[in-house]
Structure 1
Amino acid sequence: MLGLQYFSFSDLWSPFSLILTIIIAVVYLGLVGPYRTKLFAESTPLSIGRIISFLIGLFVYYMAQGGPVSLLGHLMFSAHMTAMTLAYLIAPPLMLIGIPGWMIQPLFRFRGVKRVLTAITHPMITVFMFNILFSFYHMPMVHDYVMTHFTVHNVYFFAMLFAAFMMWWPIVSPLPELHSMSELKKMAYIFANGVLITPACALIIFADTTVYATYSDPEAWAKAMGYCVSGNAEALLQQFAGGPQYFLLLGGQEDQQLGGVIMKVMQEITYGAALAYVFFTWYGRERGDDNEIEPTTA
């Protein structure tokens, strides 16, 4: 059970996050279902596959930042990196696939919205925005400060989520007309994201000692834990002697290195899937164009 048996249902499933997730899912299903034609006059039906994609992405994000994976991420650094991958590399593109353009178009009625959205989704901005925030977060001093300060933690994680959506936007945009990129440029964009995220992973994998106090110092760990489970820091330290070491299946340094490896491998798989998606979309369109050409006769 990886130590989860010591925590309550509320600790594991975060009822507030669960209720919020359910509300978002219900509102989404209403907008793409029975209320679609009433609220969006020029809308078209959304495929079941795209609806399922959004719901899976929403569920993945909840599990990573509100469910058991989130709690595990406070116990083991390797689980924390798994949660980061799920929340920022897997959930956003799945949700973007399920968001139709006609759901966003009405926002353009408000002055300046299209201009702002065009600016913040520009590939030259998005490719750096997410990777800088992500890499900066994994600097030891920054990570420990964010993890042990509740308000800063919430603001920073929301900023990374926003940046992650913007980072994926040029690849799976609900409104391709904002930034129409060729498939070749999309593949270069994905490759650039993979390169930019590598230094943060390397720092974690090749560190010769544990670098994060929240996974090595019992007091820092207890303070961070106090924000996601019931009970104060002193009670947690009394119940779990040694703090994070109580839960680790590996040594602290090995768990840290495993976390870096998990992040890098899952990032490679995710970006590899994105490259395949772009390539086969490109191939399918080119083949379709070729089939439309009428054969010449002598």
Structure 2
Amino acid sequence: MFLPVLHVCPTCPSVLGITLYPPALLLVFVPVLAYTLALWRLRQLGRMVPSSWPALFYAGMLSALVALAGPLDTWNDELLTMHMAQHLVLIQITAPLILLGRPVQVMLRALPPQRAGVLTRLLLRPVWMRRLLTVLTAPLVATALANLALVVWHFPALYEQAVLRQPVHDLQHLSFFGTALLFWWPIIDPVPRHHRVSGLWASLMVFITAVVSTIIGAILTLADEVLYEPYRSVAMPWGFTPLVDQQLAGLLMWIGGGTLYLIIILALLARWLLREEGQRVARESTA
């Protein structure tokens, strides 16, 4: 439901920086409408959800709108920096915020219990489906898939095809967003299934991803030549040159993305330490 069309229609009209490309707009607004209707239904039934859930979900969808139909998409063929920003938004902001909004829980709670049970059984009754979901959301597997997508798509041959060919471009962004959902799933545990990893494990997952992202960003920043051919000859706006554009894109991934990962690691470690301290105090009080 959240998988986006990730490229702009160059002939579509633009209003206030939003490109009026129907598929992209629908794939943002349909989930928002479904989520809003589910919230309305829950209020009608007198079932409330934490106010933070809608706030986080709508923030995530707003970030998706900025990435998919705003200036990041408008200029991503001309500027690698914009393309990189689009990737980082989808991976580091959109995916975790959507999961923090608990859309699965909200939708299921809004359904009559019998229908929710039927839907859950249809999706999870097959043994192979349960096993597949368990494997894909295992911490090491989810981390490996997310970083594999990040590394593979930054090889010049594949990245160039993503810029030049629309189907490959969509596949690139789809793999980034899909593996990001898998990566954040065991950290956030949005259903929940009581499979959330500990703060220490979550910090390790984010640290590994930060290292991989930093290495790629450093390579782009420190390279003495333009690595992606399509950006060599394109007419760049605002006085950018291809090499400066690549260096800024690398710095955005290296410093910008790395800083956000560092903040997340510190927050996860703080949560883990506080939980451990709380459990220690509880054990001592009952001793």
Q: Aligned ranges for residues 97-176 of structure 1 at < 5 Å?
A: 97-99=100-102, 102=105, 103=107, 108-110=120-122, 111-112=125-126, 113-175=129-191
* Equivalent position to 2:231, from 186, 204, 215: 215
1:14 matched to 2:6: no
Deviations 1:129-170 (A, max 9, x none): 111112211111111111211122212321221111111112
RMSD of aligned alpha carbons: 2.9
SS at match of 1:170: helix
Deviation, 1:98, is 0.5
Show the counterpart of 1:244: 235
Q: Is the 8 A contact 2:67 2:86 kept in 1?
A: yes
CA distance in 1, matches of 2:285, 2:93: 43
Structure 1 unaligned spans of 5+ = 1-5, 218-242
In the superposition, relative to structure 1, how do residues 178 and 49 fare at CA in structure 2: closer, same or farther (>3 Å)? closer
CA distance in 2, matches of 1:211, 1:87: 23
Show the counterpart of 2:272: 282
Q: Is the 8 A contact 1:170 1:176 kept in 2?
A: no
* 2:39 counterpart letter in structure 1: V
In the superposition, relative to structure 1, how do residues 159 and 37 fare at CA in structure 2: closer, same or farther (>3 Å)? farther
Deviation, 1:35, is 4.6
CA distance in 2, matches of 1:114, 1:32: 28
Show the counterpart of 1:3: none
Q: Is the 8 A contact 2:102 2:191 kept in 1?
A: no
CA distance in 2, matches of 1:194, 1:117: 24
In the superposition, relative to structure 1, how do residues 155 and 199 fare at CA in structure 2: closer, same or farther (>3 Å)? same
Deviation, 1:95, is 0.8
Deviation, 1:78, is 1.3
In the superposition, relative to structure 1, how do residues 274 and 296 fare at CA in structure 2: closer, same or farther (>3 Å)? closer
In the superposition, relative to structure 1, how do residues 7 and 176 fare at CA in structure 2: closer, same or farther (>3 Å)? closer
In the superposition, relative to structure 1, how do residues 48 and 180 fare at CA in structure 2: closer, same or farther (>3 Å)? closer
Q: Aligned ranges for residues 77-116 of structure 1 at < 5 Å?
A: 77-99=80-102, 102=105, 103=107, 108-110=120-122, 111-112=125-126, 113-116=129-132
Structure 2 unaligned spans of 5+ = 1-10, 109-115
Q: Is the 8 A contact 2:151 2:216 kept in 1?
A: yes
In the superposition, relative to structure 1, how do residues 14 and 133 fare at CA in structure 2: closer, same or farther (>3 Å)? farther
* 1:266 counterpart letter in structure 2: G
Number of equivalences? 262
Q: Is the 8 A contact 1:108 1:114 kept in 2?
A: no
In the superposition, relative to structure 1, how do residues 69 and 292 fare at CA in structure 2: closer, same or farther (>3 Å)? same
In the superposition, relative to structure 1, how do residues 109 and 72 fare at CA in structure 2: closer, same or farther (>3 Å)? same
* 1:156 counterpart letter in structure 2: Q
Q: Is the 8 A contact 1:120 1:126 kept in 2?
A: yes
CA distance in 2, matches of 1:296, 1:263: 48
* 2:59 counterpart letter in structure 1: I
1:34 matched to 2:46: no
SS at match of 1:216: helix
* 2:121 counterpart letter in structure 1: R
Q: Once structures 1 and 2 are overlaid, which stretch shifts more, 105-114 or 184-193? A: 105-114
Deviation, 1:18, is 2.0
In the superposition, relative to structure 1, how do residues 134 and 53 fare at CA in structure 2: closer, same or farther (>3 Å)? same
* Equivalent position to 1:52, from 48, 52, 55: 55
Show the counterpart of 2:111: none
Deviations 1:192-229 (A, max 9, x none): 11122233222211211112122113xxxxxxxxxxxx
* 2:19 counterpart letter in structure 1: W
Q: Once structures 1 and 2 are overlaid, which stretch shifts more, 95-104 or 84-93? A: 95-104
Return the index of the structure with the highest Cα Rg: 1
Q: Aligned ranges for residues 61-76 of structure 1 at < 5 Å?
A: 61-76=64-79
SS at match of 2:188: coil
Deviation, 1:261, is 0.4
